[in-house]
A and B are shown apart, each in its own frame.
Chain A
Amino acid sequence: MKMRETPLSNCERDFIRSAIADKKRLDGRQPYDYRKIKITFGVDRGSCQVEIGETRVLAQVSSEITTPKQTRPSDGMLFINVELSPMASPGFEVGRRPDVTVDGNEVKIHPVEEKDPLPLSVHHMPICVTFAFYEQGKYLLVDPTDKEEKVMDGKMVVGMNKHREICSLQVTGQMLLLKDQVLRCSNIAVVKVTEITELIHNALDNDRQARGWETGMQYFLVLSLLIRVSPVNEKKDKGVGSIGEGGPSAWEVDNEMEQEVADEIQTVNKSDRSAEGNSRLSGNHGDDSEEEATCTLSKDDLHNPTQLQ
C-alpha cells in the first residue's frame, strides 16, 4: 500500500502561495516556463530516459507475437505498464519491431541481423502539458513541481500534438473555472507542445546519427506515453487551515482511487501482429505506488489515414 505523503508544513505552503501571487516560483522559473527537459536513449533499442527537472522517467518497449483477439483479428494489441512515483510527467520511447513477411500461411519473422527492424508507425505524438491553478484560477502555473502541486486548487492536463490537435484534456480538483481560462491554457499548450516536439525530434535525430543507421530510412517510431497522476484528494485547498488532514474514507475503494493512474494511449500498430509496449518508469521520489493498465488497441484507435476507410 501507498504510504501517506508527507504533508507540507503550513509555513511552506503559505510561502509557496505568496510567492506564486508575486509571480515567482521556487526554482526561479517564470509562471509559464517549462522545466528543463533532457532526453537520453539507452544502448538497446526501445529504451529511453527523460528528465524533466527533478522528475525522471525511464521507458522501455518490448514486443512479442501473440494471437490477436478473435473479435478484432486485424488489430494488434498494446499493453502499457506503469510503475511510478506520484509525479506526473510524459515519457517518450523509441521502439521498433522486427520485420515480418507473410507468405500464405507461413509467417516468417526476420531476425534483426537479416533485415533491419521496422519502426512502429506512429502518426502523431501527443505531448502533455500540466497547468496548476491557484486562488480559484486567479494564478496559473505551467508544469508545476511536486510541491507546487501540493498547494494547488486544481489542475488541467492537456495532451496535444504538434498539429494543434487536442488528444486529451482533463480538469480536476476543487475549483471553478471559466471557459476563457480553459481556452487560454490550450493556447499556451500549443506553444509548449511545439517546443517539446522540436526537442524530441532533435533528440531522435541525434540518436539516429549516433547509431549510424542510413539516413532517409524511417526506422523508428516514437511511442509516447502520457502518464497522469490524478491529484490526491487531500490536496484540496483549505485556506489557512492545516493541511493533509483528509479524513479516512469510508469505502476502501476510495483509498485506491487516490493513487489512480490514468493512462493515455495514442499509438498505432500495423495490422496482423501485436506489439507490446512495456515501459517501466521510476522516479526519484521513491517507488510507492504500482499500477498496471492494459489496453486493447482497436482499429478505431488508429488514426492512420491509410487505415481509415
Chain B
Amino acid sequence: MAGLELLSDQGFRIDGRRVHELRKIQCRLGVFSQADGSAYIEQGNTKVLAAIRGSKQKTLHDKVLVNCQYSMATFSTGERKRRPRGDRKSQEMTMHLRQTFDAAILTNLYPRSQIDIFVEVLQSDGGNYCASVNAATLALIDAGIPLKDYVCACSASFVNDSPIVDINYLEESSGKPEIIVATLPKSEQIVFLEMNSRLHEDNLSKVVDTAVKGCKDVYQILDTAVRDHVSQVATVHGWEN
C-alpha cells in the first residue's frame, strides 16, 4: 500500500481527521421492542446493531452464562460476504466479546440463567470489534443488566512517529500496527488488548495511552446518550423524587 499517505505533513489523516480525533459516533438505545435490550451505533461508516436476550435454564449454578453471537451482514463489506457467521474471524470475535463481557457483567447476580448478546455488523469500515463492544454495552445498559462499568473499546495505530486513534478500514489494512483495547473507562482497567503488526516496544506505552484516551472519549459520548435516554423516559414516568 505504498503511496497511500496515511498522515499528511499538515497532520491530517485520509478521512480528514487529525491524529487524536475519533470518528463521529451516533447511537440509540432500545431499537427493538422484543429483545430485553438493544442498541444501534454508528462509528463513522461502521454500523452495528446489538441485542440482548436473557433467561434460560440449566446453565451454571452460581453465575450467569454469557453467550455471544457476532455476525456480519453479507452486505456489510465491499465484496459480498459468503457466510455471515461461523467463519474463523467471526468465531474469534465471538470469543473475544464473550470474554470481554464476562469480565464486566456482575455475573454472580444471575445464577442459573444465560445472557445472550447478539451483535450484527451492518456496515463495516474498520473497528468492528470496537463498535461491537460499544453497541453491546449500550444494549446491556438498556436491558438493565448490572455492569461494573461501561465497557468502551477503541483502536489505535502508529504512523509517522505519532499515534492515531480510532482507525478506519484503509488505515487498518495499511499494514501499520493496530492495537485494540477495551477498557472500563473510569478505572482505566484493560479488559481486552490485542495488537498485530510490528511496533517498537518503546512506542507501546504511547499507543496504548492513545487508545485508552480514545476509550474515555467514547465513554463520554455513550454516557451522554444513556443519560439522555434515561432522563427522557424517567421524566414521563414521573420518577423525579
Contact = CB atoms under 8 A, between A and B. Distances in A.
B204 interface: yes
Contact of A170 (B103, B175, B195, B199): B195
Contacts of B193: 156, 169-171, 177, 182
B199 A165 contact: yes
B191 interface: yes
A152 to B, nearest CB: 13
A238 B204 contact: no
Contacts of B61: 245
Contact of B189 (A168, A174, A176): A176
Interface stretch (A22-30, A55-63, A73-81, A251-259): A251-259
Contacts of A109: none
Interface of B is mostly: mixed
B208 interface: yes
B181 to A, nearest CB: 9
B60 interface: yes
Interface in B160-177: 174-175, 177
Interface stretch (B84-92, B119-127, B223-231): B84-92
Interface stretch (B25-33, B62-70, B128-136): B62-70
B59 interface: yes
B56 A160 contact: no
Nearest to A300: B175
Contacts of B62: 238, 241
A151 B182 CA distance: 23
B28 to A, nearest CB: 27
A250 B67 contact: yes
A170 B196 CA distance: 9
A160 B201 contact: yes
Chain B's interface size range is 35 or more
A233 B91 contact: no
B98 A233 contact: yes
Contact of B65 (A247, A253, A309): A247
Interface string B83-114: 00110101110111011001100000000001
A165 B90 CA distance: 28
B95 A257 contact: yes
A166 B189 contact: no
Given A171-B194, A247-B65, A250-B114, A166 B201 contact: yes
Contacts of B95: 230, 233, 254, 257, 260
Interface of A: 124, 156, 160-161, 163-179, 182-183, 186-187, 189-190, 230, 233, 236, 238, 241, 245-247, 249-251, 253-254, 256-257, 260, 262, 293, 300-301, 303, 308-309
Identify the 3 closest CB pairs spanning chains A and B, nearest first: A169-B195, A176-B189, A171-B193
Interface of B: 1-2, 56, 58-62, 65, 67, 69, 85-86, 88, 90-92, 94-96, 98-99, 102-103, 114, 116, 174-175, 177, 179, 184, 187-202, 204-205, 208-209, 212
21 contacts: A165-B199, A166-B199, A166-B200, A171-B192, A171-B194, A173-B99, A176-B191, A177-B193, A178-B188, A179-B190, A182-B193, A182-B208, A186-B204, A187-B201, A189-B201, A238-B62, A253-B91, A254-B67, A257-B95, A260-B95, A309-B2
